[in-house]
Amino acid sequence: MLTGYITDTGTDTNAGTNIDTNAGPTRIQAQIKHIGAKPWKNQNSEVHMTRLYITRHGETIWNTQKRMQGRKDSPLTEKGKQQAVLLSKALADVELEAIYSSSSGRTMQTARIIAGSRNIPIIPLDSLREINLGEWEGMNTAEAEKQYPEQYRNFWKFPHLYEPVGGESFGDLISRIGETLELLANRHNGKSIMVVTHAVILKTIALIVEKKELKDLWSGAFMYPTSLSIIERGGDGWKAVKWGDISHYEE
């Protein structure tokens, strides 16, 4: 079991080791090798089937106001909390080695609800945070479209042409998430873990796993709050089991 975790400030709370989470997942891996957490798997060791259960946070107040959150935050609504409870019940019989969450408040809140009474660590990672939307963060969608019509259109319609307004490019996002997926799979080789993250991150994961072109980023399942996606990594690489399942909403 893990004995330490990375906080949103980049500090390992048990070992007292400062982690530069802005340096990227590869640097993070090198920096935390020596602390008291579970050892990272050697990338040259035998690869066993690793399963990632991935979800988006529950509905937030800003979701109901159609505000663009990105790196900014707002708390879960009562509906969002209930969505997380339903997913927790649906996964009650799934053995998880750990829960990894974006370090944003809304995802950590969701992760704690999903964990429930499980005696497993919840590990915040900055590298799982939502795309940085720059000047758009805090605006509602109508405001962003009015002030930045071309960039807004490209973001949703032509992502391969999108240029951020003080935020993060899709190219940088793909690199960040691709590295993080490999890092998690190597650390939990042959095991199952939960990942709690965001809508654009989930679409980026789907793009990576399905080997889609950037122009097709938004194709496929819509990622509703606490929808469940499952991917596996074996000797042949990543494959999808399901995307955006919300059957637990029916409980």
**pLDDT tens digits, 96-116:** 999 999 999 999 999 999 999
The answer to whether the beta carbons of residues 131 and 72 sit under 8 Å apart is: no
pLDDT for the residue 250: 85
pLDDT for the residue 216: 98
Q: Domain limits at 134?
A: 48-250
Q: State how far the Cα of 14 lies from the Cα of 244, in Å rounded to an integer.
A: 35
Residue 141 in any domain: the answer is: yes
Which CA distances in Å does 62 have to 2, 4, 59, 137, 157?
Answer: 33, 32, 8, 11, 23
**Catalytic hit among 130, 168, 188, 198:** 130
pLDDT for the residue 11: 29
**Catalytic hit among 57, 59, 168, 188:** 57
Residue 25 in any domain: the answer is: no
Annotation marks residue 150 as catalytic: no
pLDDT for the residue 25: 46
Residue 150, domain CATH? 3.40.50.1240
**Secondary structure of the chain as H, E, C letters:** CCCCCECCCCEECCCCCECCHHHCHHHHHHHHCCCCCCCCCCCCCCCCCEEEEEEECCCEHHHHCCECCCCCCCCECHHHHHHHHHHHHHCCCCCCCCEEEECCHHHHHHHHHHHCCCCCCEEEEHHHCCCCCHHHCCCEHHHHHHHCHHHHHHHHHCHHHCCCCCCCCHHHHHHHHHHHHHHHHHHCCCCEEEEEECHHHHHHHHHHHHCCCHHHCCCCCCCCCCCEEEEEEECCEEEEEEEEECHHHHC
pLDDT for the residue 74: 97
Counted domains in the chain: 1
pLDDT for the residue 45: 63
Q: State how far the Cα of 57 lies from the Cα of 130, in Å rounded to an integer.
A: 11
pLDDT for the residue 5: 28
Q: What is the pTM of this model?
A: 0.85
pLDDT for the residue 88: 98
Question: Which residue ranges of the chain lie beneath pLDDT 70?
Answer: 1-45, 251
Evaluated on CA atoms 211, 216, 220, 222, the torsion sign reads positive
Residue 35 in any domain: the answer is: no
Q: State how far the Cα of 11 lies from the Cα of 34, in Å rounded to an integer.
A: 14
Residue 13 in any domain: the answer is: no
pLDDT for the residue 249: 95
Residue 7 in any domain: the answer is: no
Residue 214 in any domain: the answer is: yes
Residue 37 in any domain: the answer is: no
Annotation marks residue 130 as catalytic: yes
Residue 23 in any domain: the answer is: no
